[in-house]
Structure 1
Amino acid sequence: MSLGPTTTTSSLALFKTHNKTIAVKPPLLLGFFARHRTYRTHNVGFWNVYRAPRHLSCRELTCLSSSGTVEVDGGQRRQRHRHKGAATLPFWQQQSLNYGRYAYQDVSSSEDSDRELGSSRKEACGSTLDNIDEWRWKLTMLLRNENEQEVVSREKKDRRDFDQLSALAARMGLYCRQYSKVVVFSKAPLPNYRSDLDTKRPQREVIIPYGLQSEVDYHLRAHHSRKSSSREGLSDNLLSRSSSRDSIVSDERFNEQQEPSGRRSVAMEKILRQKSLNMLDQQQKWQESPEGQKMLELRKSLPAYKEREALLKVISENQVVVVSGETGCGKTTQLPQYILESEIEAAHGAFCNIICTQPRRISAMSVSERVAAERGEALGESVGYKVRLEGMKGRDTRLLFCTTGILLRRLLVDRTLKGVTHVIVDEIHERGMNEDFLLIVLKELLPRRPELRLILMSATLNAELFSSFFGGAPTMHIPGFTYPVRALFLENILEITGYRLTQYNQIDDYGQEKSWKMQKQAQSVGKRKSQIASSVEDALEAADFRDYNPKTRESLSVWNPDSIGFNLIECVLCHIIRKERPGAILVFMTGWDDINSLKDQLQSHPLLGDPSRVLLLACHGSMPSNEQKLIFDKPEDGVRKIVLATNMAETSITINDVVFVVDCGKAKETSYDALNNTPCLLPSWISKAAARQRRGRAGRVQPGECYHLYPRCVYDAFSDYQLPELLRTPLQSLCLQIKSLRLGSISEFLSKALQPPEPLSVQNAVEYLKIIGALDEDENLTSLGHNLSMLPVEPKLGKMLILGAIFNCLDPVMTVVAGLSSRDPFLMPFDKKDLAESAKAQFSAREYSDHLALVRAYEGWKEAEREQSGYEYCWRNFLSAQTLKAIDSLRKQFFYLLKDTGLVDRDRESCNTWSHDEHLIRAIICAGLFPGLCSVMNKERSIVLKTMEDGQVLLYSNSVNAGVPKIPYPWLVFNEKVKVNSVFLRDSTAVSDSVLLLFGGSITRGGLDGHLKMLGGYLEFFMKPALAETYIYLKKELDELIQMKLLDPKLDIQSHPELLSALRLLVSGDQCEGKFVFGRQIPTPKKAKKEIPPVVKGSNNGSGGNNSKNHLQTLLARAGHESPTYKTKQLKNNQFRSTVIFNGLDFAGSPCSSKKLAEKDAASQALLWLQGENHSSSSNVDHMSMLLKKTSKKKSQNRKSFQDAKWG
């Protein structure tokens, strides 16, 4: 039956069926086509003509439709049916039913569809504007068909056409996006870039010198011989270790504390009772002392003291209690003390064990110091603290303040928190990712520990949310006492100070750009609104400023919401110092860069930079502890203290002498775009709750003032509370913790959260962990994943550390990881930017690596430190001495952590045998940062970088690779990408094809000999078949060696010298002689095709007839060579693959149903190559005359290939 629309009306569609015309109402068309399922599409204008394909069987039609693609006006309509192999693809290539992700189709399916339906592309089409009704009908059909997900149109459309179609799709509830010349309509949101629609995806032709490959093959043959001789013993050893690994992953009792024996328990109880009596006696003596009495009176003045008995009563009667209290009420310092004091008074002090978590290091340290002082003790006695890689805790510590991450790490080895009596989770209102995760874990732990008490503390009044999460837990509120604070918004500030805003004086100087660039930035204000400006646009338009003077209204009309307002802050600070009463000033900034830049600007001011009048301090979470403590000290008389801080000063710390607060209204936080798999680091508006917290900091000791640097109408537009971190950050580290704690399915566990994250975010994180080898395909923790879970760094950095330890180049790798965990040590002063860039380029030494530049800078600094000239070295090379010291400290801590894993022994020298090998270091950097990868295309005047998820990207200007005219490497691996306006890559290292193939992700065979694929087919490599087999074999052996080392840390990898020699030769000898090729078509294997013996072109009438084996043997005999030999292996699918070997060469055939056919196919491949007709050759070459020469019998016998048939 042939179907096609002949005419249309508003209510009928006429279709011809042979000699009949059928009128069908549009709503019935879907059912009409459903009854006639065997159809294919062609294009007539913008209508689809459905014709029965006479030459295709029903089975073939089913195969075509199973690919999930149906051509529509030269495009495709993608269905929800996923390809069989989709589950094995990387997460960013999979078709998601909820998010419209694309899945790479099997080559045969998609190309078969294109051949059958390709004629539709040749049909002429009318204008989109003239056929809008037809498009409306197509999109209606898409909405009604549950099996279809999207429509892809490849027809040429101008901007006006696209705008109209996009508006139509939006009205119909569909998503529409244009990718180059392709337009996609989808039921689900569409990403910014679709690699499947990019005709220039990376396809790389790999070439290495023949001599290098021969040398590598020589070492691999020796390795294979050594391995074969001891294979039986090695297999037994691996089997036993695998069993031990399984027990590590699945044993529920792993590392949990054991119950003491009965006799030991009685003795321990006596000791604890005596300690309890000693603690009671010590506490009474302190409370009766004059100092204790004075401290007690001070504590009684806090609002929390009035609720002391009520708090203790509700905690004793309930397993979970939620306590809210305003900033300054004393809940953080007093409530843990009340619990400890009551336990000591009951003679149970030695039996109690209180853990109080804080979201930040500085909070845990400062609060513990304060509580210890209030108890008249030295820190580390009954009160202590523990933060990452630092702590003060004794055997008798009963109240421990720690970061949330420390408690989570304890849960790794003590799943029931044995011995812990109280857990206090402070600052839960901040909704940090670790805090939300901890709440889920504790909620599941409570039924198993009925005696455990959980207290949740919040600085805001949203306690009901947490109460309901724990089944209606009781809540208590501690009313705080603060002095009144006058709130001044931007319009009030302009009136009071007389300051005037212009486009130019709102450009914040970060010392990164020249003045002419700043002017250009100012001129662009208003041309393109950012997200932060768009979010308050409506509020500004509706605002009424008629009550203010004309100059103020003029200033407000040019106010730039994107600006922090350095100059305005300077004006406000001068106003406070000159005209307001004494008191410290707290300035809230967005991040470290803002703090440093503003501090530099203020220090150059004649008043604000005068140390006799102003004490200027900074407060940030990454600062050393001793520097953070300076903010709590009181300045000398007549000196005004100004503290520049981030949002950590909202609730985590309290500076008692603050009277004035300057609030920029923004906080720099990471948001995560799961659809594009890209984190975005942008300043965003704070919430109303955060603004109130900042304002409240000014009323601790006397009435205060808060200067909000934004209009009141903008404040009114703020959200009530901040979005939880769990919903706006990547989840890789969290997912790894879930598996290390053996909490079951990751997605199921996270679905129990207060506000569960987006499913696609979870899927992206899980697939990432699978790609780096931390999880297997069944989402089980691997041996690598187990080791990663024990390191308090990101999984990619942990993997880098582990491989650095395994391959004995630990020191430089620790430097890289410590540098990526800290701030950039390379400084870029505004007036010496060119000199600073030159200094950093010298450290790079044309190695095209930010990471190797960091290693050289650090090593130079260490040498200068030994000569007592470290600061001079930093000054000369534009380096931050503070950051280099932080890196040095982290390196030491990483070394001890690796010692705990067993991968590192005490002999530091043995861990650095290959630390001089920069090629190997580059390879380990690649292994850690993969799949953070982009291709490098050198153009005449530019370099084009492209990633899999984002398409074209840019490098940050401070990268050593950003200022070079050409990068002689095909790939860059990078630490992170951040979307500001465009997507920028940070901290990159150039790598070769060999490094990527051996140290990147898993590689699979493509459709041709010598065709390899990575990342589910996004990356394709073409090379000689023998070289491809070398990569596959070496990669397999390398992965096996790493696995053996992880299972047995005492294994000496030097016991595999040939393998390591081959590895180092290949990664150091690859000169990147290959090239990128685009649009290379892969021949499509026919489905369900009856196998016939392979026939060599032009040989039907030859001596061999259609037997390629005979034909090949005849040619070799005429050239004076020995007969070829065949090696055949039976594959897992019961097919056979054969390799023919002659004259030092080997050729592999395709899988066949019998051994005989496999040998013939291998001979066919050899004949095609000899005749210059092999598809893998870049040009037709007469190999017959060039390479069929007599060689010694010894060379022919020694030549070994690396086909699967030989290494099985």
Structure 2
Amino acid sequence: MESKARLPILLFEEKIAETVDNNPVVVIIGETGSGKSTQLSQILHRKGYTRSGCIAVTQPRRVAAVSVSRYLTDGVLLRESLSDPELKQYSVIVLDEAHERSLNTDILLGLMKRLITLRPLNLKVLITSATLDGEKVSRFFSNCPILNIPGKLFPVEIEHSSKMPKSYIEDSLSTAIGIHVREPAGDVLIFMTGQDDIEKMVAKLEERIQTLEEGSCMDAMVLPLHGSLPPELQVRVFSPPPLNCRRFIVATNIAETSLTVDGVVYVIDAGFVKQRQYNPLTGMYSLDVVQISKVQATQRAGRAGRTHPGKCYRLYTSAVYNDFLDVTIPEIQRSSLAGTVLYLKSLDLPDIDILKFDFLDSPSAESLEDALRQLYLIDAINEDGSITSLGRTMAELPLEPSLSRTLIEANEYGCLAQALTVAAMLSAETSLFLSQSKTVGKKRKQTLSHLPDGSGWGDHIQLLQIYELWDQTDYDINWCKDNNLQVRGMMFIKDVRVQLSDIMHKIAKGNLDVRSSNRRIEGQDYRALRKALCSGYANQLAERMMRHNGYRTLGFNSQLAQVHPGSVLKSDEDGKLPNYIVYHELIATSRPFMRNVCVVESHWVGPILAKLDKLDIIKLSGGIKKASHEIPLVEDSNQPKDCSGIAQLADDRDAKIAAARERFLARQAHR
């Protein structure tokens, strides 16, 4: 194991201490291998900063936080700030891996800028990264100093492909086998876009390795690495391999910079990443496989030079690399901001204006207005934009606002136990059903027929029923296997449900009444739970079109969407779909699809439509609103940069909302 004394950052210990002593904010660009993530907090401790408070070190990803076990995730620090906005227990706050520009990290950057004016004498803020645009961050923090710490990186030979791959999985596979057969010892890091691709690659690679002639090459082990793995499986990649054994680590982009796996000599980079994008004008998500940025390509290559001279196989041409974006688009410019705006509102600080909040990269005006609208419809803020008591309670739950609202409403209706289950089930990061490749198709169809079907009410009810059946087996993992359910996912859900239940009980000491309820809902209409879901998903309401086998979403930009083909929602005996449903998310694939839908009753919809009719974004913002052209917008190469069409969109929205209201009243009159 390499000696800490050899880490480059320790050569700069006195310079770091002096700069921190004399400045409230310092940007530290620590190249790969410099030791910044492990040694910086210890340097600060040795210089006495723990005498007046704790040192908080945040990581944007859970996997990275596991690898340095005493660190916080950035989300945890945000939650702490709800009860203590000035974070008085900390003398130093280190935002590590800030280059990832996660949504939470960007919020923290804005809050730190404000906080250092409130605590100028007893708080130090350090922003660290391997690839961050230090000049940009320095300007954001009034030209604070930048320290550059060299890394200890061995040379990495980069080899570009002569042509683009037809299948990046197959090309990655053949490249990996070629390395194993021909190259000297050293672990191989293979970048994939997501869990599904990782599982396919792991299975294919293990199969190919087993077909190699015995004795023709060293032993090998294949390890997956992604955010959905439980901690005990994540930490395996940090243990050295057995003697004369090569490791193949198949990972998502969490292995770019968030953590370092020693022993990697070869990197296979297909040049893609899976990126989730949100369109505030349609309320629609898309999960797209997109090209990485040049910064990401550099980081991936650098993984090969940590302990030895390495080699990076880029499965794309040098011309394609030249077309990559220089940096990755920040998450805050491609996410729904409802949770972000709720958090900022809950701080209840008079000097924070949502539409003027100082972000390093401002989100679009449409994104902020969309968030205000969502929060208004679920009663988190009132007509004047002030946070409500419900909104304050919602902010205490580590959930998206729609699910937080559902839990609070479910408590009032006496079905909190069931709503906790649904919220936990929806928190799973991937599908709970094993993929087709994991099982024989005929067997899958036969097995799935034994699972509940939601009693005709939709996917939320099916998720509840599945969990209840598992509960009756005392959480037997063999039951999950027999029903083609992911064991890891179900165990994760069980843990999340316990955590949510604990939080709700703590909240109950304040303004909630957590009522006891039986595990199973009496009767089969699930009325109370569906009504709670209607309140939580007020922004995600869809009305059936009379002449179409689809729905119109009642949102800012109403459009025709269909229920996802994987939904258990069924038409009635006359072939008709329910008049109204709510959905968990609207996604763009081949066309707009609503995922995880639930039937709601028509008379629950009236108050929501009435609120839509009264919606006034200017009032929701607190009456303070910049002109659209003054607010930096996300650049979209497919759209003109002229913002004059926004007013027309608003007019169209109002007309469509009024039309929806008239249709509802007409149906009510004919009942």
TM normalised by structure 2 equals 0.86
Matched with 1:417 is 87
Q: Among 108, 121, 133, which residue is 1:438 paired with?
A: 108
Q: CA deviation at 1:748?
A: 4.9
Query: Structure 1 residues 607, 750: closer, same or farther in 2, change over 3 A?
Result: farther
Matched with 1:257 is none
Name the CA distance, whole Å, in 1 between partners of 2:335 and 2:8. Answer: 37
SS of residue in 1 equivalent to 2:237: helix
Q: CA deviation at 1:882?
A: 1.2
Query: Structure 1 residues 891, 988: closer, same or farther in 2, change over 3 A?
Result: same
Name the CA distance, whole Å, in 2 between partners of 1:313 and 1:964. Answer: 73
Which whole-Å deviations, capped at 9, do the CAs of 1:158-202 have from their partners, x for residues lacking one?
xxxxxxxxxxxxxxxxxxxxxxxxxxxxxxxxxxxxxxxxxxxxx
SS of residue in 1 equivalent to 2:234: helix
Consecutive aligned runs of 4 or more in structure 1 exceeding 6 Å deviation: 608-612, 903-909, 962-965, 998-1001
Q: CA deviation at 1:806?
A: 2.0
Q: CA deviation at 1:845?
A: 5.0
Maintained 8 Å contact 2:188/2:248: yes
SS of residue in 2 equivalent to 1:1018: helix
Matched, 1:956 2:564: yes
SS of residue in 2 equivalent to 1:791: coil
Q: Which amino acid aligns with 2:65?
A: A
Maintained 8 Å contact 1:843/1:857: yes
Q: CA deviation at 1:839?
A: 4.3
Query: Structure 1 residues 745, 798: closer, same or farther in 2, change over 3 A?
Result: farther
Matched, 1:449 2:154: no
Matched with 1:326 is 31
Name the CA distance, whole Å, in 1 between partners of 2:349 and 2:113. Answer: 12
- Kindly report which structure 2 residues correspond to 1:629-668, keeping only aligned pairs within 5 A, or say none: 629-668=235-274
Q: Which amino acid aligns with 1:954?
A: Q
Name the CA distance, whole Å, in 1 between partners of 2:33 and 2:24. Answer: 26
Query: Structure 1 residues 598, 743: closer, same or farther in 2, change over 3 A?
Result: farther
SS of residue in 1 equivalent to 2:47: helix
Name the CA distance, whole Å, in 2 between partners of 1:968 and 1:1003. Answer: 24
Give 5+ residue unaligned stretches, structure 2: 615-654
- The aligned length equals 619
SS of residue in 2 equivalent to 1:409: helix
Q: Among 408, 412, 421, which residue is 1:815 paired with?
A: 421
Q: CA deviation at 1:678?
A: 2.3
Name the CA distance, whole Å, in 2 between partners of 1:471 and 1:741. Answer: 24
Query: Structure 1 residues 745, 955: closer, same or farther in 2, change over 3 A?
Result: farther
Q: Among 449, 456, 463, which residue is 2:134 paired with?
A: 463
Matched, 1:360 2:30: no
SS of residue in 2 equivalent to 1:569: helix
> Which stretch shifts more, 802-811 or 610-619?
610-619
Query: Structure 1 residues 402, 1015: closer, same or farther in 2, change over 3 A?
Result: farther
Q: CA deviation at 1:734?
A: 0.5
Matched with 1:826 is 433
Q: CA deviation at 1:824?
A: 2.3
Name the CA distance, whole Å, in 1 between partners of 2:459 and 2:77. Answer: 35
Q: CA deviation at 1:608?
A: 7.7
SS of residue in 2 equivalent to 1:450: coil
- Kindly report which structure 2 residues correspond to 1:921-960, keeping only aligned pairs within 5 A, or say none: 921-937=529-545, 943-948=549-554, 949=557, 951-960=559-568
Q: Among 1018, 1030, 1042, which residue is 2:660 paired with?
A: 1018
Query: Structure 1 residues 924, 837: closer, same or farther in 2, change over 3 A?
Result: farther
SS of residue in 2 equivalent to 1:339: helix
Name the CA distance, whole Å, in 2 between partners of 1:837 and 1:956. Answer: 18
Query: Structure 1 residues 741, 845: closer, same or farther in 2, change over 3 A?
Result: closer
Query: Structure 1 residues 956, 334: closer, same or farther in 2, change over 3 A?
Result: same
Maintained 8 Å contact 1:585/1:643: yes
Maintained 8 Å contact 2:508/2:514: no
Query: Structure 1 residues 352, 994: closer, same or farther in 2, change over 3 A?
Result: closer
SS of residue in 1 equivalent to 2:584: strand
Query: Structure 1 residues 659, 964: closer, same or farther in 2, change over 3 A?
Result: farther
Maintained 8 Å contact 2:571/2:577: no
Name the CA distance, whole Å, in 2 between partners of 1:777 and 1:610. Answer: 72
Query: Structure 1 residues 905, 714: closer, same or farther in 2, change over 3 A?
Result: same
Q: Among 148, 151, 161, which residue is 1:477 paired with?
A: 148
Name the CA distance, whole Å, in 1 between partners of 2:384 and 2:608. Answer: 23
- Kindly report which structure 2 residues correspond to 1:765-1164, keeping only aligned pairs within 5 A, or say none: 765-822=371-428, 823-830=430-437, 832-833=440-441, 835-837=443-445, 839-840=447-448, 842-865=451-474, 870-902=476-508, 910-912=516-518, 915-917=521-523, 918-937=526-545, 943-948=549-554, 949=557, 951-961=559-569, 966=575, 968-997=577-606, 1002=611, 1016-1021=658-663
Q: CA deviation at 1:963?
A: 9.9
| Structure having the higher Rg | 1
Matched with 2:159 is 488
Name the CA distance, whole Å, in 2 between partners of 1:573 and 1:417. Answer: 48
Q: CA deviation at 1:1017?
A: 4.6
Name the CA distance, whole Å, in 1 between partners of 2:273 and 2:349. Answer: 33
Name the CA distance, whole Å, in 1 between partners of 2:535 and 2:609. Answer: 5
Matched with 1:586 is 189
> Which stretch shifts more, 958-967 or 332-341?
958-967
Which whole-Å deviations, capped at 9, do the CAs of 1:1057-1106 have from their partners, x for residues lacking one?
xxxxxxxxxxxxxxxxxxxxxxxxxxxxxxxxxxxxxxxxxxxxxxxxxx
- Kindly report which structure 2 residues correspond to 1:571-610, keeping only aligned pairs within 5 A, or say none: 571-605=174-208, 607=210
Q: CA deviation at 1:688?
A: 0.5
Q: Which amino acid aligns with 1:705?
A: K
Q: Which amino acid aligns with 1:428?
A: A
SS of residue in 1 equivalent to 2:431: coil
Name the CA distance, whole Å, in 1 between partners of 2:425 and 2:139. Answer: 43
SS of residue in 1 equivalent to 2:596: strand
SS of residue in 1 equivalent to 2:440: helix
Maintained 8 Å contact 1:898/1:904: no
Q: Which amino acid aligns with 1:666?
A: F
Name the CA distance, whole Å, in 2 between partners of 1:622 and 1:658. Answer: 22
Q: CA deviation at 1:431?
A: 1.5
Q: Among 67, 78, 81, which residue is 1:408 paired with?
A: 78
Matched with 2:636 is none
Q: Which amino acid aligns with 2:435?
A: M
Q: Which amino acid aligns with 1:333?
A: T
Matched with 2:643 is none
SS of residue in 1 equivalent to 2:488: helix
Maintained 8 Å contact 1:848/1:967: no
Query: Structure 1 residues 675, 654: closer, same or farther in 2, change over 3 A?
Result: same
Name the CA distance, whole Å, in 1 between partners of 2:82 and 2:213. Answer: 51
Which whole-Å deviations, capped at 9, do the CAs of 1:533-589 have from their partners, x for residues lacking one?
xxxxxxxxxxxxxxxxxxxxxxx4x855xx5x2111111111111111111111111
Maintained 8 Å contact 1:976/1:986: yes
Name the CA distance, whole Å, in 1 between partners of 2:493 and 2:670. Answer: 50
Maintained 8 Å contact 1:923/1:999: no
Structure with the bigger RCO (C-alpha within 8 Å, sep 6+) is 2
Query: Structure 1 residues 847, 1014: closer, same or farther in 2, change over 3 A?
Result: farther
Matched with 1:535 is none
SS of residue in 2 equivalent to 1:605: helix
Matched with 1:233 is none
Q: CA deviation at 1:920?
A: 1.8
